[in-house]
Structure 1
Amino acid sequence: MMFFFIKSFAATHLMIWSFVASSQDKHELSYFVGSFRNGSSEALLEFDSDEVFYVDFERKTVVCTGPSSIKGKISEILQSLNLYNSARKNIAVTMALVEYFTAQTEEQEKIDPPEEMFLYTTAEVHSGVENTIICFVSGFYPPAIKVRWTKNGNPVSEGVSRSRYYPNKDQSFYHFSTLSFTPSETDVYSCTVEHPALESPRTVLWEPEFHHQHHNLDIFFAVSLGLGLLGVATGICLFIKALERS
């Protein structure tokens, strides 16, 4: 089965070709091509929602992002298909559609604010141990957001990185920014996102919860339980001795 879809907004055209294998186990292969009024473009292939490759238009190459076990085979296939030139032709088509619909309609472009935004770390948090915190933002359109980090209210730029924009199945986008940091008990971090659909920036705070605190609490309960059992055992021994004497 195959279908062709064009998302026709004044600022963007996103063409998606999807192929569903006709077998007992169904799989979906989706190829996304998008052009935006700001001049940026996206082209990528997904298999069952997992990215297989994307086109890096700045470096003029196709980047394989699939599992390492099959990257070599996929890279050979991609080179033989000359996919970079094909992606450029598709982008040219979408850019022409952008210009056409921009000229033909005066409708206001649809914009959607982020639906999800939360912070989480890549590992358990320990005081003084380097870690990475991730600010995940999803459900917004168009793909244009600004992300700012602070530590204890002060702007942070060192150790910050950002991902590309990734498409969701509902034609919105998701994006994440990461911050490498070494936590301490008094630190408070924040991630602030700006988007055209937001009336004001949205901020999420994060404070570290150290794993060792729970560990010490477990030790306390273990020691308390051990002492309690020792007391019970001692009481039983004394009771038995008292019976023997009587």
Structure 2
Amino acid sequence: MGAAGGSAVLAAALLGAALGAAVTDEPAHTLAEVLFCQPGAPSLGLALAFDADQLFWFDFPMSRWTPRLPDLPPWPPALETPSQLLRDATFCQNLRRSLTALATGEMPESKGVPVAAVFPQHPPVLGEPNTLVCLVENIFPPAVDISWRLDGVPVTRGATHTHYTPTADLAFVRFSYLPVTPAAGDVYSCVVTREGDNSSIIAYWVPQDPVAAEELETALCGAAMALGLLLGLLGVAMMVVTQRGKQG
């Protein structure tokens, strides 16, 4: 939690539980529910995550829980109803305003430098449809804009973004997806812009032309045959030399 002129104070509530560590030697897991509020967009956010995987997020404009994946079961209606969460959100905003008034000019603003990486969802093959994934980590506060470019030209068609997922180090993670059909010479870039100071981090991905499996198999078979032939000739030559040595 930090302040700098009251521009980016963030209030967050974290409920976590370490599971399994006290019983077994397996690594502990964390179930976290994080509610945040801030002056910038999004002004409110709420997510339930297991370790680094988001399970549910709360859509405040629509006042409903939404599963991160379509095959997850729906949120139990009696558990943390929308009216309860709206009261929590109001309390969070009031607390943020109070802390802003107290901390402005007294505490430095806490900020994380986002780290981005781009990779294909499936092994890339030139000319075949695929999906690029932009993973953005170390987000704090949760206010970044993610955009895509192809050869420097903005691309928006089909691009989707996930909501912010809390992490154990009190930062956030966000994903962005872009359907692509890679071609030789393409240069894709994921641009992450922090709201407020407009600083950007750019991650690039350039498709490579992998060797087709059949071509690779043919090349390996040819190399094996050539090696076998070479070893055969070497054996014959050694037999000839040995025979001549005996005759001498």
Q: Pick from 51, 56, 67: which aligns with 1:53?
A: 56
- AA of the residue aligned to 2:141: P
Deviations 1:208-228 (A, max 9, x none): 123226863553243122123
Give the structure-2-normalised TM-score.
0.78
- AA of the residue aligned to 1:228: L
Deviations 1:11-30 (A, max 9, x none): 22101122445851565332
What is residue 122 of structure 1 aligned with on the other side?
121
1:113·1:196 contact (CA, 8 Å) conserved in 2?
A: no
What is residue 92 of structure 2 aligned with on the other side?
94
Q: Residues 197 and 8 (structure 1 numbering): CA distance in 2 closer, same or farther, change over 3 Å?
A: closer
TM-fit CA distance, 1:139: 0.6
Which protein has greater RCO, CA pairs closer than 8 Å, 6+ apart?
A: 2
2:52·2:165 contact (CA, 8 Å) conserved in 1?
A: no
TM-fit CA distance, 1:182: 0.4
The answer to whether structure 1 residue 64 and structure 2 residue 67 are counterparts is yes
Deviations 1:183-215 (A, max 9, x none): 111211112221158674222221112322686
User: Structure 1, unaligned stretches of length 5 or more?
Assistant: 1-6
Q: Partner of 1:89: helix, strand, or coil? A: helix
Q: Residues 183 and 65 (structure 1 numbering): CA distance in 2 closer, same or farther, change over 3 Å?
A: closer
Q: Partner of 1:81: helix, strand, or coil? A: coil
Q: Residues 104 and 113 (structure 1 numbering): CA distance in 2 closer, same or farther, change over 3 Å?
A: closer
Q: Residues 109 and 179 (structure 1 numbering): CA distance in 2 closer, same or farther, change over 3 Å?
A: farther
Percent of aligned positions with the same letter in both sequences? 21
CA distance in 1, matches of 2:45, 2:169: 16
1:126·1:212 contact (CA, 8 Å) conserved in 2?
A: no
CA distance in 1, matches of 2:233, 2:129: 47
User: Structure 2, unaligned stretches of length 5 or more?
Assistant: none
Give the structure-1-normalised TM-score.
0.79
Structure in which a larger fraction of residues adopt helix: 1
The aligned length equals: 234
Q: Residues 162 and 216 (structure 1 numbering): CA distance in 2 closer, same or farther, change over 3 Å?
A: same
What is residue 38 of structure 2 aligned with on the other side?
36
CA distance in 2, matches of 1:127, 1:66: 29
